[in-house]
Amino acid sequence: MILITGGRGAVATRLLDLLHADGLPLRVGSSTPADLTPPDGVDAVALDLTDPSTFPAALAGVTDVFLYASPDRVDDFVDEARRAGVEHIVLLSSSSVLGSDPESSPLAAAHLTVEKALLASSIATTVLRPGSFSSNAGAWAWSVKAGRPVNLPYPGAHNDPIHERDVAQCARAALTDPRHRGGSFTLTGPQSLTFAQQLDQLAAATGLSIAVDRVTREQWKEETADYIPAAYSDALLDWWESTDGRPVALTRTVEELTGRPALPFAAWAADHAADFTAS
């Protein structure tokens, strides 16, 4: 039995479909299981990674887990997983842990805490470390739909956008192919693209004209203050400044794990064009 945590997440929903098509026994967990619509034969269970009282029922009879990183009660989760007989955990972490000082970075510290807890346990752990998700572009949807410019402090900042479908395919490979068990894999998209280039590709996919306004760091922090804490804003801004005009390193790990090249950002833009045009 495979338990998929974070059942409402973009990666988890795609992974669930892939593994269900493989005919594998599955369970999907969420803090709000009533909101899930799993395939026939798949149970949705209550699983709040901050509430250990939900762990035993979710883990009963489970041998493998796909785990979203949540540091709050990770030691309790690992202990319960060990008692339940879990043999293998595939962790969705982040390539931010590979930075020069991840312990002091609010973007990396939570992921690093979970990695350390799992890797110190007796349970075989496979770590997936994606870089920048293509879906981060969804933050621009409101401006695009409103016909307003997208405000960016560093429109020339590069990142390595990866499609959530590719991350799910890599998770499937990690869960089902014993050759990958225990490995650590850095996942990137196939291109280093600036924010401006991504917006150009969104414009091509939607048929819309999308303008960019370059704003100051402080202006951007004020605009996003309601949903991005200041410490995270500063860390993001520092990262974007470090990659402004500088392409980022890429890997071919998606192809190595799945047997096909990673999907370009243009494919994500085409898949999600309605998110930027629907009222």
Q: What is the pLDDT of residue 70?
A: 87
Per residue in 203-246, pLDDT (tens digit) is 999 999 999 999 999 999 999 999 888 889 999 999 999 999 99
* Of 231 and 14, more confident: 14
Mean pLDDT across the stretch 109-129?
Answer: 96
CA-nearest of 42, 39, 44 to 6 is 44
Model confidence band, residue 100 (pLDDT cutoffs 50, 70, 90): confident
Per residue in 17-39, pLDDT (tens digit) is 999 999 999 999 999 999 999 99
Asked if the model's pLDDT at residue 158 lies above 70, the reply is yes
- How far apart CA 240 and CA 54 sit, in angstroms, is 38
Q: What is the pLDDT of residue 252?
A: 98
Provide the 3-class DSSP secondary structure of residue 71: coil
Per residue in 35-45, pLDDT (tens digit) is 999 999 999 99
Model confidence band, residue 62 (pLDDT cutoffs 50, 70, 90): very high
- How far apart CA 102 and CA 4 sit, in angstroms, is 27
Q: What is the pLDDT of residue 279?
A: 64
Q: What is the pLDDT of residue 119?
A: 96
Per residue in 64-74, pLDDT (tens digit) is 999 997 899 99
- How are beta strands 43-46 and 64-68 bridged, if at all? unpaired
Mean pLDDT across the stretch 124-138?
Answer: 97
Model confidence band, residue 6 (pLDDT cutoffs 50, 70, 90): very high
Element (H, E) at 201: helix 195-206
- Spell out the domains of the chain, with CATH numbers in brackets: 2-130 (3.40.50.720), 132-163+190-248+265-279 (3.40.50.720)
Q: What is the pLDDT of residue 247?
A: 98
The first and second tokens of residue 113, run together, are: 């805490």
CA-nearest of 126, 91, 139, 125 to 111 is 91
What is the average pLDDT value for the chain, to the nearest integer?
A: 95
- Phi and psi angles of residue 207, each rounded to the nearest 5 degrees, phi first: 75, 15
Q: What is the pLDDT of residue 202?
A: 98
Q: What is the pLDDT of residue 99?
A: 86
Q: What is the pLDDT of residue 69?
A: 78
The pLDDT > 90 percentage for the chain reads 93
Per residue in 79-99, pLDDT (tens digit) is 999 999 999 999 999 999 998
Q: How far is CA 247 from the centre of its chain?
A: 21
pTM, full prediction: 0.95
Model confidence band, residue 106 (pLDDT cutoffs 50, 70, 90): confident
Q: How far is CA 133 from the centre of its chain?
A: 6
CA-nearest of 209, 195, 224 to 147 is 209
